[in-house]
Structure 1
Amino acid sequence: MRADARKNRDHVLAVAGAAVAEHGVDVSLRDIARRADVGLATLLRHFPTREALLEALLHTSFEELTAKADALETSASPEDALVSWLRDCVGWTTEYRGVTVLMAAAIEDTESALHASCVTLRAAGARLLTRAQAVDAARGDIDGTDLFALIAALAWLGDQPSLASRAGHLFDVVAGAILTGAAAGSAVDGGATEGSP
């Protein structure tokens, strides 16, 4: 890609990131193009679909969350690793209102531009969950798909103005329900303050 084309693409992504953070994933592509001071055709040349734009926008975050899971596997207890990663995922998804709806759909849609990233992210969480289950620190009747669904549910809470102040407390409730015995109290205590995941 030519330097000027890359600069234009990066500019569109920066503008799109701000627009999605402000208005959610359903923000108009035409509005993003207008804000970026480019024509809609130019935006569509770089990103032919909304999902392609979102995948490019979110790709770095997906990679960072996957790398964080890898690092936590060797640097933290199974229960602390799981809760820390879960907290980071929920916190990230609340930055972009509505992204969890797209992610949940992309898991099942192999044609989605978000499919591969979402599958990789779900697998990273599943590894942390399996590791905690192996030492009886997490309940054994849930799997990576359930964990992915819980992230979506907790992110949805954070998207609701009337419930956002309860999001931190409800995160602790859910995390405590995933973990078992002493692990539940030790990993959840001292985590988020009320209102933040």
Structure 2
Amino acid sequence: MAEQQRADARRNYARILAVAEAEVSAHGANASLEQIARVAGVGSATVRRHFPTRHALLAAVSHERIEALCARAHELADETDSRQALLAWLADVVSYSVAARGLAAALAYDGDVHRNSCSAALEEAADPLLRNAIRDGALAEEVAAVDLITLIVGIVLATEHFPDPAAEARRLFGLVVAGLSPDGRR
């Protein structure tokens, strides 16, 4: 009997997650949890049992994208131009966050920095890129990964209702890059 319950729980989790991915893609971070439950054919208590907070649901929906961004950071860590490698990765984070509705909200800090697994994963992946850029004098020493993720989240959330959010996010990211660089270059 317990085995059957676990199998049901796994199926419910997978079904809820699949529906949540579609709903977040269509409606962004504010996708209705009740609608997700309805379409998945489960009660809202079941959704909340698997995902106790909206943030937990968004983190699960964004998991594959976060893994792809982490893998990309590892690929770029050995590039000889540390500044270009860091900027390429950050541009990828901006692009992913604009294209993947809900990702910026999943990265946003909700008062407990240590429990934000999405941001923690990206910060850890970014660390070698940051260390290399700082070592090479391409990034100010006081810049931390948490600062960069916070800036990207702010840019993406601030531009999500623009007619062309991707273009506006890229433009603002360019302004931030100029401000982060020790010599003001983009």
State the TM bucket, normalised to the shorter chain.
0.7 to 0.9
Alignment match, 1:140: 141
Paired amino acid for 2:75: A
Q: Please say if 1:52 is aligned against 2:53.
A: no
In the TM superposition, 1:20-169 aligns within 5 A as 20-75=24-79, 77-97=81-101, 99-106=103-110, 108-110=112-114, 112=115, 115-162=116-163, 164=165, 165-169=167-171
For residues 149 and 49 of structure 1, do their structure 2 counterparts lie closer, same or farther at Cα, with a shift above 3 Å needed?
closer
Paired amino acid for 1:85: W
Alignment match, 1:171: 173
Deviation at residue 26 of structure 1 after TM alignment: 2.2
- Between 1:42-51 and 1:127-136, the stretch displaced more is 42-51
Matched residue count: 181
Match of 2:21 among 17, 21, 26: 17
For residues 89 and 77 of structure 1, do their structure 2 counterparts lie closer, same or farther at Cα, with a shift above 3 Å needed?
same
8 Å contact 2:62–2:106 — kept in the other structure?
Answer: no
For residues 84 and 40 of structure 1, do their structure 2 counterparts lie closer, same or farther at Cα, with a shift above 3 Å needed?
same
- Between 1:89-98 and 1:9-18, the stretch displaced more is 89-98
Aligned-residue Cα RMSD (Å) equals 2.8
Spell out structure 1 runs of 4+ moving beyond 4 A. 1-5, 96-99
Unaligned runs of 5+ residues in structure 2 are: none
TM-score (norm. length: structure 2): 0.78
Tell me the distance in 1 between the aligned counterparts of 2:156 and 2:25: 14
8 Å contact 2:25–2:100 — kept in the other structure?
Answer: yes
Unaligned runs of 5+ residues in structure 1 are: 186-197
